[in-house]
Structure 1
Amino acid sequence: MTRALRRGPAASRLALAAGAVLALAAPAGAQTLQEALSHTYANNPTLATARAQLRVVDENVPQALSGWRPSVSITGSAGYFDSTLRQRSTSLTTQGAQTRSVEVDTDRATATLAATVTQPLYRGGRTVAQTRRAENQVLAQRARLLSTEQQVLQDTVSAYVNVIRFQEEVRLNLNNAQVLQRQLNATNERFRVGEITRTDVAQAESRLAGALASRADSEGQLQNARATFQRVVGLAPARLTAPQPLRPAARNNQDAAQIAAMNNPNVVAALFDEAASRDFIDVQLGALLPQASLQAQGFRNDNQQTIGTRTQGESITANLTVPLYQGGAEYSAVRQARQDASRLRNVVDDQRRTASQQASQAWETLQSARATVDSVRAQIRAAEIALDGVQREAVVGSRTTLDVLNAEQELLNARVSLVRALANVVTASHALAQAVGRLTAKDLALPVQLYDQEAYYRAVRERWFGLRDYAAPQPAAN
């Protein structure tokens, strides 16, 4: 996913057509699609959440590596001991044997202190397996971050294009309402002089009312599109310029499907998830294998038995534990891990098929949208000629008011269809790039500081201790 997507000749022609139809110049200070994408990449909270989640998963690696490291602990206790010993004492006197009760009070302060170092030597292979599993989990999460990045950027493209589309639809509907208002005025004049009937006036009034309703509807959709834009991008849409479609990321339908099956982030994430599940089998098997460790201890005990005594010393102990039977739960855990690995192998196949399907659909949608653009442009040319002819014929009385209104409506519908088709071309070209895994900030060559997926991983992987936040600053638009 390193090659920047470029614009092709066909894309340039479509962009010029979009500029002509949408009548949007590129004034100084205009907001381009690249600027909107850059701002989204730097400020979108969904993307920031996915980056934070990657940093959470990065911590699995130092946690797994801790299985190689010693554990050190110091334990101590302090207390006060008070006891009374009562016993009978017999003594011989001149009067004979005499028995008496003797009480002995004992009080002392007690203290213990011990320092213990335990070094694992062998944990049944679990440390190695847990480390491999954690590494695969990190790689899977990086792929998910790319998937989230692509979806956020695609949402930005859709929001950007929709604002332009509905702006143009509002302009077309407003212009149509003005034309129909003039048509109604002219129809009323002709009705007053007796050239036409009341039916012609009613038809003109009906079309004007319909045009006003369409304008209100398009204005509402424009406000919705502007709200979506602000949510995704984080800025209110300003003077947007008509964007260019991307150059196709594949040569044909089959090529797109093959690339998506290998390069789509969801497929990559599923592959690493499946690898992590196989490592988890080894983790569970470790519970059935011997465990070996080395323990060193230094201790000191004061006044434990009698006052004024102290015991201190050191010890080194090699420990070996061989599990024979632990209730059977560990065997179930191994079987469970194997079934989960089998499930995730099927998930890989499902993600590959899904990615191939999405890429094929995106390719066909793009081709269909391009063909629609060509057809609708021809339709507009024909509708303009037809409207001019109908208007001329209506002047001499060979056409009715309804004929003129129908011709005007056909031209309006064709122009709206062209706006929508051009918007579909831009959106579909980016959807194809997303399906094959090439709709990232790096592939689009956005002028932003790219988020370093490995920075936090490198900062914490070999760290034995530390509580501060090692996250690097978030990217910012240049």
Structure 2
Amino acid sequence: MPFQNFRYLACAAAAATIALPAAALGQTLQEALAFAYTNNPALGAARAQVRVVDENVPQALAGWRPTISLSGSAGYADGNIRQRSITPSPLNGQRTITTAESDREVGALSATVTQPLYRGGRTVAQTRRAENQVLAQRARLLATEQQVLQDAVSAYVNVIRFQEEVRLNLNNVQVLQRQLDATNARFRVGEITRTDVAQAESRLAGARSTRADSEGQLANSRAGFQRTIGLAPNRLVAPQPLTTAVRSNEEAAQVASVNNPNVIAALFDEAAARDFIDVQLGVLLPSASLQGQAFRNDNQTQPGTRSTGQQITATLTVPLFQGGAEYAAVRQARQDATRLRQVVDDQRRASTQQAIQAWETLQSARATVEATRAQIRAAEVALDGVQREAVVGSRTTLDVLNAEQELLNARVSLVRALANVVTASHSLAQAVGRLTARDLRLPVPLYDATAYYRAVRDRWAGLGDYAPPQPVAN
């Protein structure tokens, strides 16, 4: 039997029919998820973090590009020039010293272009590493998106669940109040004892306590709804559970081990760590560059002088020994890659466990729903019989109260089981990587995680904000 909404099932169990508001007038789960997708700040921060990591790629590609610099200086020099000379003569030379002022304005201007030719393979390795970091961050964005949507589902379902529990507990208080009134009436005519009245009073006080607790839980769930989704709950329409994307726990585990975003992120993290080994090894290899320079120097040695020129220089640098730190960096990078390889295995195991648990929780919740329905039907029959037997004196007031409590507990259990079915179906989708806005077909434009990357990857200059527009809910 397909699952109906919580209110309908709970009331059907109580043999009552309650009309629901039309879906068009209510707030559906799809609408709430779409609003969370567009407004949740945690998801917005994760998107911004992807754009941050996107910038690693143009930074790495800059290793292929020339650097151009222009430098200049200007100043004033104050000094004297002394020159000594000897005039030759037959008898003895005559010494002459001349002094001249050398006050002058000095200046220099140069332009330099440096083109890297070979950097030990570091540019290639840094680019590969940056690309893998981008892909890992996109996978983390999907993981965040799934978690936000799962939190939104839980918040949505919890509000409906506690609304039903409040309704059931409020109805129970009313029933027990009538039961207490009837018990007092029977006590006054001597049909029962004071003990029966006390039992009814105790059960009513407990029901009021339970109702107050459920009302507090409802208020908390409403606050959680507003925080996760970004608006207050209003006439929620009870959702259907998701159709499962897998047919067994084995299939769920297999799909999760390759499709869970956390596993994908760990794989790209490991690839980036292996690339970083090559980056560190590049420090030990030779590097070559070509430099061109044009310069002009005015009055550098004496007034009225100017020197200009151009030069092209090829430089080859072969590192021999740099203190040993570069070798430690290579060893460190290798150990980090080993660590991240273990993280991949751990994420696979964790995602497999999550998928199996979600599958078993869903099957258990479905079985609980069917069993609780049977329990409610039996409890209704039992309560009717106990009430009839109490009229003729073969049952006590406590028997009636216990039967009513058992029926209430069964109805509350049904509400909770139905909530668990919906939540567990979404948890299973999350475990196998299928709880995304695209998979759920939410009525909202999807965020393009590649738009910013395409805008900045080959950009040589620019300080503008190239972030794509955020999705807007309909």
> What is the one-letter code of the residue matched to 1:303?
N
The whole-number CA distance in structure 1 between the counterparts of 2:119 and 2:130 is 17
Please give the secondary structure, in 2, of the residue aligned with 1:77: strand
Q: Which position in structure 1 is the counterpart of 2:15?
A: none
**Which whole-Å deviations, capped at 9, do the CAs of 1:41-86 have from their partners, x for residues lacking one?**
0000000000000000000000000000000000111111110245
Q: Which position in structure 2 is the counterpart of 1:14?
A: 3
Please give the secondary structure, in 2, of the residue aligned with 1:14: coil
Retained in 2: the 8 A contact 1:24–1:241?
A: no
> What is the one-letter code of the residue matched to 2:220?
N
TM-score between both structures, scaled by the size of structure 2 = 0.95
Judging changes above 3 Å, is the alpha-carbon distance between structure 1 residues 236 and 63 closer, same or farther for their aligned structure 2 residues?
same
What stretches of structure 1 of length at least 5 have no aligned partner? 1-9
The whole-number CA distance in structure 1 between the counterparts of 2:19 and 2:430 is 27
Identical positions, percent = 75
What stretches of structure 2 of length at least 5 have no aligned partner? 12-17
Retained in 2: the 8 A contact 1:252–1:363?
A: yes
1:116 aligns with 2:112: yes
The whole-number CA distance in structure 1 between the counterparts of 2:168 and 2:355 is 34
2:20 equivalent among 17, 25, 29: 25
> What is the one-letter code of the residue matched to 1:448?
V
Q: CA deviation at 1:26?
A: 3.5
> Aligned-pair RMSD on alpha carbons?
1.7
Q: CA deviation at 1:17?
A: 6.3
1:367 aligns with 2:363: yes
> What is the one-letter code of the residue matched to 1:243?
P
Q: Which position in structure 1 is the counterpart of 2:130?
A: 134
Please give the secondary structure, in 2, of the residue aligned with 1:15: coil
1:220 equivalent among 216, 231, 237: 216
Judging changes above 3 Å, is the alpha-carbon distance between structure 1 residues 184 and 164 closer, same or farther for their aligned structure 2 residues?
same
Q: Which position in structure 2 is the counterpart of 1:294?
A: 290
Please give the secondary structure, in 2, of the residue aligned with 1:239: coil
> What is the one-letter code of the residue matched to 2:371?
S
Q: Which position in structure 1 is the counterpart of 2:421?
A: 425
Retained in 1: the 8 A contact 2:68–2:114?
A: yes
The whole-number CA distance in structure 1 between the counterparts of 2:53 and 2:96 is 75
Q: CA deviation at 1:104?
A: 2.6
Q: CA deviation at 1:103?
A: 3.8
List structure 1 segments (4+ residues) > 6 angstroms apart after TM superposition: 87-93, 96-101
Q: Which position in structure 2 is the counterpart of 1:342?
A: 338
Q: Report matched runs for 1:135-150 at 5 Å.
A: 135-150=131-146
The whole-number CA distance in structure 1 between the counterparts of 2:248 and 2:186 is 58
Q: Which position in structure 2 is the counterpart of 1:467?
A: 463
> What is the one-letter code of the residue matched to 1:21?
A
Q: Which range moved further: 346-355 or 16-25?
A: 16-25
1:456 aligns with 2:467: no
Corresponding residue pairs, total = 465
> What is the one-letter code of the residue matched to 1:25?
L
> What is the one-letter code of the residue matched to 1:269?
A
1:435 equivalent among 431, 434, 440: 431
Q: Which position in structure 2 is the counterpart of 1:250?
A: 246
**Which whole-Å deviations, capped at 9, do the CAs of 1:184-235 have from their partners, x for residues lacking one?**
0011111111111111100000000000000000000000000000000000
The whole-number CA distance in structure 1 between the counterparts of 2:297 and 2:8 is 88
The whole-number CA distance in structure 2 between the counterparts of 1:215 and 1:255 is 42
The whole-number CA distance in structure 2 between the counterparts of 1:295 and 1:98 is 52
